Amino acid sequence: MKATKIIVSILVALIVVIAIALFIGLRNLDTLVEAAIESVGPTVTKTDVQVDGVHIELTEGRGTIRGLSIANPQGYSNRPIFRVGDVTLDIRPSSITEDVVVIEEIKVDGAQLNAEHRDLTQINLKTLLDQMSSGSREEAPKSTTASPDVRFMVEKLSFTNAGLNLSSDELGNRELTLRDINLENLGDREQGLTPAQLTRAILDPLLQQARQRVEAEVRSEAEGALKEELESRMSDDDKEKVDAVRSLLNR
């Protein structure tokens, strides 16, 4: 009987300790998530990643990341290459204690990308993507408070109403359009993705689309300028011959 009481007392004590630890952890969850983002993010992008604030309501399965920004790679301006006001999350609370945390949906609305085109061929979006690709090998964050074993699955991800500003030495400044992006099932419930893998999976589609959009704009402008230059050097007879050939081809 005495042994039974001792065992029960130990179990009760353990439950109390675990409850206190969970309470403290949940109270500091916002700070922990913010620290994890600002620690893991730079290992992927090789640039500073900052967050204005995080608010997670586990009981409601909702969260908001406010003021997420990614700094430009070295060699470009001090404007962030990516900035968004709010990122909203729908989290499955029951998965918090499981091996893979399930995020039911991530919504990124109104993100702003700042593309920079320098020295004819240098584009900051490509530079950032190259840095992310070169860092695909997992790197341990310097001082993250997130568990190294935590893994994630995202069932739905959407980028809507994203804007793209292009600043170019050759083309000047202009605004370009981007298509909405909708993805499903990043990772799975068995293995999941590490924080670094998830960061790449989220950012890569948007950055790739923006890079392709900027490169197409630069290429179109270059081809148009070359065409004008060639036509300016052609004689009237040459232009008439070209028009005649075009007329034949269009028949």
Residues of the chain below pLDDT 70: 1-28, 135-149, 221-251
pLDDT score recorded for residue 3: 53
CA distances from 192 to 61, 93, 97, 232, 234 (A): 19, 16, 14, 59, 61
Q: Name 175's bridge partners.
A: 165
pLDDT score recorded for residue 170: 77
- Going 204 to 205 to 211 to 215, the CA torsion angle's sign is positive
- The whole-model pTM stands at 0.75
Report yes or no: 136 and 200 within 8 Å, Cβ to Cβ: yes
CA 70 to CA 181: how far, in whole Å? 19
Q: What is the pLDDT of residues 5-47, one digit of tens each?
A: 555 455 545 544 444 444 444 556 788 788 888 899 999 999 9
pLDDT score recorded for residue 85: 93
Contacts for 56 with CB less than 8 Å, ≥ 6 apart: 29, 30, 33, 62, 63, 89, 91
What SS3 state is found at 224? Answer: helix
Q: Which one, of 110, 126, 90, lies nearest residue 178 by Cα?
A: 110
